[in-house]
Chains A and B, each alone.
Chain A
Amino acid sequence: MTSIHTDVQIGICGSAGDGTIAVGDILKRAMARAGYRVIAFDEYPAEIRGFGKCVARTRITTEQVYSMKPKTDVLVSLNDAHAIPHAEEVRDFGAVIYDSAPITMIDEGWHISGHLNPGQLPYGLPMREISEQATGSSRSRNIVALGFVAGLYQLPRQAFIDAIAAKFQTKAAEVTQSNVAAFNAGYDNGAEIYRFDKVEVGPPARRTRVHDSTMMTGNAAVVRGCLDAGIETFFGYPITPATSIMERLAVEMPKHGARLLQTEDEISAISATVGAGFAGARAATATSGPGFALMSEMMGLGVMAEVPAVVFVSQRGGPSTGMPTKTEQADLNIAVFGGHGDAKRIVLAPTNVEGCWRCAGRAFEMAEAYQTPVVVLLDLYLSNRYETVVFPNKNPFVRDAWKRPTQDNANEPYRRFELTADGISPRAVPGDPHGIHTATGLEHNEFGRPNDLSAMHFQMTEKRHEKLNAALKHPGITIYKRFGDTGEVDVGLLAWGSTFGETLEAMLLARAEGIRCAAMKVVMLSPLPVKPIKRFLKDCKEVIVPELNYEGQFANLVSGAVGRDVIRFNRVTGKPMAVNEILDTIRSAAGKRKLRKSAA
């Protein structure tokens, strides 16, 4: 049998209360169970109650991919008013599935069948009626629609039934039975349909890897990274989109003998985290932009007192309350520079779900090793995005990763902030013999005692900066990486955070069109790996920096560091970057280059 390369994106759009996210969840879990690679991302409204729009998108592939597709192959409408604007997302010869027997009369123009492009294929399904026949209620029409999709494309039925059973395992058995009945009714309907669309789903590529892979969100990967790194304490205050980190840790940490406390606010959370770090515990907090703004003073204390602390910041649309359920990358400035004084800290920005796990684990090592707060900068898209991830069998994270005082000078007073060649002082924690010292937010001398002499302030400021350079060579983490063509290229792309996935896809598409190009992901935003970035930029005739903020915060950071201007490609739509828009920018940059060359 010829293996079909599978790359299908299914979108489900409905109103809050339609079970849109729930069926999206079953879909991705079923496909991951069946052995496919999955990337999924849900959009949902900020309002807790009401009838806002929800969209669950799942990309199912047999090969490694890095982002959601710009065009959806199959769209399921559970609510036409919400789904109509998304009809244009469906590619030519893709499918749109909708309820063909709504319960009430519809005003002209409010049925999705009237909004399809000529190239799209319509599939009307009496979802409510089928649900009522199968379960006695129309409530399971979302599951009927899911079953229809599964039947239409001959997806493995049992994987869905297992996923439904897992989804409703805490409910009464009748709930599972009813949903399975609805699914099967939809499946049977779908299987009978003659398909005109050009959406093909082949078998998974590597069935043997099914049990090695796990499907999880970026926030879930952060949690696993924390646990694998041996987190001991966590203090947090809920805020979208970081809340699920605390929720998951609240369940998992007690199982590992670790403790979590929900504090009264973000100031308290960071204060407790820094305090726990001072005491020698592996400590972390998680927040979003508004919460991180409140934390900036204590971040300064962590830097000044050289206290390890890990802060997960998941960005959302801002400023202020902004767009809590929309994604953005506009907190780079506050993550890298936020706070007063020369408060340099380490900032890591993972680019995918596996990276969330790795950065979380390494953040604890780095915080300890370089005695400083470490910010792990996520965003809503990455926090909530599902991917199938394969973890190594052996836990790679190192515990107790800091330089401790030796007993050689046990008779001398302990110098907590000793000036050393690498800027890293031997660190004692309360209770260590011969480790008594002063820790303060005031500028201090090597013993920690307040000292604001010019020379001392310079030496200590320099120490706090220079010690971080070692982080650029921290083992076990990729802080930057180049992809695509080697050597000189017409177009180079420099990207960070979740946008790198879209950037990489766009770069691969551009290469397929014959454009010489390369992309570099930068995971460590502070200290910035300036030399490799310079080397990369030297190879690039044009450089594009795509990012989800208005000002081009990363472009500013890079331009300032390397002294070269770049093409800024900024979007603030509240949505992930569109691959085709980056691709258009690449084409445009490559075109300009050609024009200049021919004019010369």
Chain B
Amino acid sequence: MHHVIIGNGVAGSHAASVLRERDPGSQITIISAGALLFYNRYDLPDLFRGRCDWVDYLVYPPAFYEENKIKLRRKSLVTEVDTNKRTLTLAHREVVTYDQLLVATGGVAYVPERLLDSIPLMHGFNNFRVAMAMREALPDGGVVIMLGGDALGLDLARTLIETNYKVVVVAGDRTFWPHELTQETRSSYLQALEKMHLDVVDGKQVDRVEQSNGTGPARRVVFDDGSDLTGDVVLPFYGLAPSVDFMSHAGIDIERGVLVNPQLQTTRDDIWAAGDVCQIWSPEHNTYRFYYGWKNVKTMGDVAARNMTGDDVTFTTAVDEILQLKPDGTIYSPFWEYD
């Protein structure tokens, strides 16, 4: 049996280790578009505390993969899945066969359409390389403009404030994502951000990002009312968009993410999905929905691997999804937690 996992994040890596445990004789291959072994992206804000060696972020050492006979193929982008032939085509034109497939490709930073042209002028923070690039572009004590301000961004903002940077959150309807807030609670949470020493700009729509002229901060965020804001780096934090493009002709049901039942099985018997890429049927909500956070995603990896090896377990969320307002007036998101 050849289990192939696309994605080298929390869901895929945890699924691989569970698969190895439950199916010792099988062949397990993780296919990853990145160059690195599985590392903890939740820790990336520590770059600003001087932890700049990627090796320090590894969840498993290289020996883990050899000891567990897990083949990890890096820099291997999957471009196509042929579910009839049970093959994947990689960008370097190699075809890989599978018996069972787990899609755990996660998501990429979502950027609203109106800002797509500004992407080259914005920094990301979703992997080590771009996070390092952002760190290198940011002068000591510099100004970070966070567009959107989702929970991932706010986690980074906490560290930036602690390490003496200035953070401006341009709030909008994705602020605090994936937490869903009412209009009333939203304003108290925005006040909480100010208590956390973040500057908040609310009620304005970003039109574009430009390169600043002269010797001041490198970037200029222009609002649709013509006003602007300058900073050293600009980061979009509007939540995640699932990475499913390569599955578009695979013949499985996809809405925004890959649709799976509570056992995380897709509309094909031999394909499962786990992590930020999948929308799970929720009988409680009577709809397919996403579940985020390290703990949820890890649980999904566990559930998928168990069901791929003959079990019949269903996914239930492991994370309290309520954004907490702490007694000191600051906020705490359960999505910041990991183990």
Interface set of A (CB-CB < 8 Å, partner B): 92-93, 99-102, 104-108, 110-111, 113-114, 116-119, 121-124, 194, 196
Contact = CB atoms under 8 A, between A and B. Distances in A.
B133 interface: yes
Contacts of B55: 93
Contacts of A123: 35, 75
B92 A124 contact: yes
Given A118-B37, A121-B35, A194-B133, A108 B66 contact: no
Nearest to B53: A198
Contacts of A92: 62
B49 interface: no
Q: Which 7 A-B pairs have the closest CB atoms?
A: A119-B62, A118-B62, A118-B65, A122-B75, A106-B94, A111-B94, A194-B129
A113 B73 contact: yes
Q: Which of A104, A105, A114, A117 has the most CB of B within 10 A?
A: A114
A124 B75 contact: yes
A306 to B, nearest CB: 63
Contacts of B128: 196
A140 to B, nearest CB: 20
A116 B64 CA distance: 14
Contacts of B71: 114
A118 B66 contact: yes
A108 B94 contact: yes
Interface in B61-102: 62-66, 71-76, 90-97
B60 to A, nearest CB: 9
A110 to B, nearest CB: 7
Q: Which of B76, B91, B128 has the most CB of A within 10 A?
A: B76
Contact of A114 (B54, B66, B73, B132): B73
B218 interface: no
Interface in B317-333: none
Contact of B91 (A100, A105, A118): A100
B97 A108 contact: yes
B66 A117 contact: yes
Contacts of B76: 113-114
Contacts of B35: 121-123, 196
B88 to A, nearest CB: 10
A158 to B, nearest CB: 27
Interface residues of B, number: 28
A162 B94 CA distance: 38
Contact of A100 (B63, B92, B96, B97): B92
A118 B92 contact: no
Contacts of B96: 108
Contacts of B133: 194
Contacts of A122: 35, 74-75
A113 B95 contact: no
Q: Which of B55, B65, B93 has the most CB of A within 10 A?
A: B93
A113 B55 CA distance: 20
B36 interface: yes
A35 B69 CA distance: 44
B93 A106 contact: yes
Given A118-B62, A118-B65, A113 B75 contact: yes
A106 B87 CA distance: 13
Nearest to B58: A118
11 contacts: A100-B92, A105-B93, A105-B95, A106-B94, A107-B94, A111-B94, A118-B64, A121-B35, A124-B92, A194-B129, A196-B36
A326 B70 CA distance: 36
A436 to B, nearest CB: 78
B233 to A, nearest CB: 17
Contacts of A113: 73-76, 92, 94
Nearest to A93: B55
Contacts of A107: 94-95
A93 to B, nearest CB: 8
A111 B95 contact: no
A196 B71 CA distance: 20
A196 B54 CA distance: 8
Contacts of A111: 90, 92-94
A92 B65 CA distance: 13
Q: Which of A100, A105, A124, A196 has the most CB of B within 10 A?
A: A196
Given A93-B55, A118-B65, A123-B75, 13 more contacts: A100-B75, A105-B93, A106-B92, A107-B94, A108-B94, A108-B95, A108-B97, A113-B73, A113-B94, A114-B71, A118-B62, A118-B72, A194-B133
A114 B74 CA distance: 8
B73 to A, nearest CB: 5
Interface in B271-306: none
B309 to A, nearest CB: 23
A113 B63 CA distance: 18
Interface string B161-202: 000000000000000000000000000000000000000000
